[in-house]
Amino acid sequence: MASKQPIGYKCCIAGVLLLLLASVAALVAVAVIQDTWRFKDYSSEYGIVIDSGSSRSNIYLYKWPGEKENETGVVTEQMNCKVAGDDGISEMKVDKEKGAKSMAAFEVCIKKITEAIPAEKHKTTTLFLGATAGMRLLQGLDEQRSSEIMEDVREYLSSLPFVFQNASIISGQEEGLYGWITVNYLMGNLLEKNTWNKYVRPQGEKTVGSMDLGGASTQIAFAVQSNLSGPDYLPVKLYGYPYNVYTHSFLCYGKHEAGRMILDKVVRESSDPNYIPNPCYPKGYIVTFNASYIYDTQCNEKPTNYNPDQQLFFVGTGNSDKCLSMVMRIFDFQTCSSTQCSFNGVEQPPVTGDFMAYAGFFYTSSAIGLEGTSDLDQFKALSTKFCEKNWTVLKEEKPSISEKYLRTYCFSSHYVFTLLADGYKFDKEMWKNINFQKQVKDTSIGWSLGYMLSLSNMIPSEVKEIFPMTDPLFAGLIFLFSALIIITVVLVFIFLIRTCY
């Protein structure tokens, strides 16, 4: 029996030591798990961007998770509400009744957007308004009216249950840059999910150039080498990666304003205001405009003895070659003090890679029968064919296009061709890289999404830390294993005392 006692003591001591070590290990494991296995539960963030263009306003609702990928939110479009009417905010304060109708239509969209956002998120939803070329033109024409309109808009937006950030007239460069960001984001060129469902930068870092044709301006933007610099080169950081983007906006060269410049050329070539042949209107089409329709803009110089109420009677002749000649005259392809220019003396590096052409570019190409990619000769041939069709035939073939737009597509097809081929210098090979599209992944292409992506860098996220164990469970386990450690230490002490004495 005496020989077995030391062995029994040794077994007891070993068991107690094992329990001690296990308790210490468990205590450390619980603490480590609670600290390292915790994760952050980010709430969804919402943002509203109002795109106030020269012809209408669109209100976009965006949503993104609070957890951002390398400093930029992963944004998705939740809603696009088109404000009813054909006028942008630049037409406010001209006609009271018209202005009231525009505001009522605006409020209808705001109500729809408000209902789409959870009530508890209203107080954190950011609201921005960006006015584009229509307001840029008005600012140059009548700065006081422009300021009054923007002040009224700010007052109204401030009354909404959101975090109103700003209402401003964005620059042409910003419009071009944000359009480029939108195109590349939607095409997955800035961010993509890998096998592990994590967002990563795509292989090859390939981006696509963007071209936007609005009512009052047109923009081109594409990534260039980092060593190029100048007033039209903008560095931008997205998802933690830097890009150098060439972007330029041509005010007055949007589809509507360019059309008015053409009408000015047509009027000046005619000696009789009661019969003005227009080669860019289809044969058989007639229309009367007040002179103010053509000359109430910063883009055209008013003629001598100008009378805004003078009526001008236009008769379409459908002369494709003469229309193209008229279009060429609104560009200056000769002046250039740089290695290469687009037009009007504006420096531009050579276009490279693929390009997305949207907005007015898409609607024009679609009207003449092209969508997606094409070749230069095909585009030109279809433009000529469209121009030579009689107005009655066009209306029968294109019943879905409103007459006020249908009459413009002879001019605009030649305009798009000249702008891209002679202006931006797309040759036969590069033209094949132009993709005329309205949407990417069911999302409209425009500057507003790119604007939201950029601004999400500055918008704070609500975050709550979620631990793997609840506080009571964590405290209970800490208490249990701490108690076991104390008990085993006491038992070891007792066994040691008994062994020694």
* Residues that are catalytic: 175
Amino acid at residue number 309: D
CA distance readout (Å), 242 to 73, 108, 201, 232, 411: 16, 40, 12, 16, 39
DSSP 200: E
For CA atoms 78, 81, 82, 88, give the dihedral sign.
Answer: negative
CA distance readout (Å), 364 to 249, 254, 357: 19, 12, 11
Is 126 annotated in some ligand binding site?
no
For CA atoms 421, 427, 432, 433, give the dihedral sign.
Answer: negative
DSSP 55: S
The first and second tokens of residue 172, run together, are 């042409």
Compute the distance between CA of residue 33 and CA of residue 56 in angstroms, rounded to an integer.
55
Kindly report the number of other CB atoms within 10 A of residue 90's CB atom: 27
The first and second tokens of residue 114, run together, are 């408000």
Write the Ramachandran bin of 437: left for phi over 0, alpha for psi from -120 to 50, otherwise beta. beta
403 Cβ contact partners less than 8 Å away, ≥ 6 residues apart: 395
Is 217 annotated in some ligand binding site?
yes
Compute the distance between CA of residue 80 and CA of residue 439 in angstroms, rounded to an integer.
12
Is 218 annotated in some ligand binding site?
yes
Amino acid at residue number 20: L
The two beta strands, 163-169 and 126-131, are parallel
The answer to whether the CB of 323 falls within 8 A of the CB of 279 is: yes
Kindly report the number of other CB atoms within 10 A of residue 465's CB atom: 8
Kindly report the number of other CB atoms within 10 A of residue 143's CB atom: 10
Is 34 annotated in some ligand binding site?
no
Task: Please provide residue 69's backbone torsions phi and psi, each rounded to the nearest 5 degrees.
Answer: -90, 110
Compute the distance between CA of residue 316 and CA of residue 409 in angstroms, rounded to an integer.
13
Is 216 annotated in some ligand binding site?
yes
Binding-site residues for ATP sit at 215-219
Binding-site residues sit at 215-219
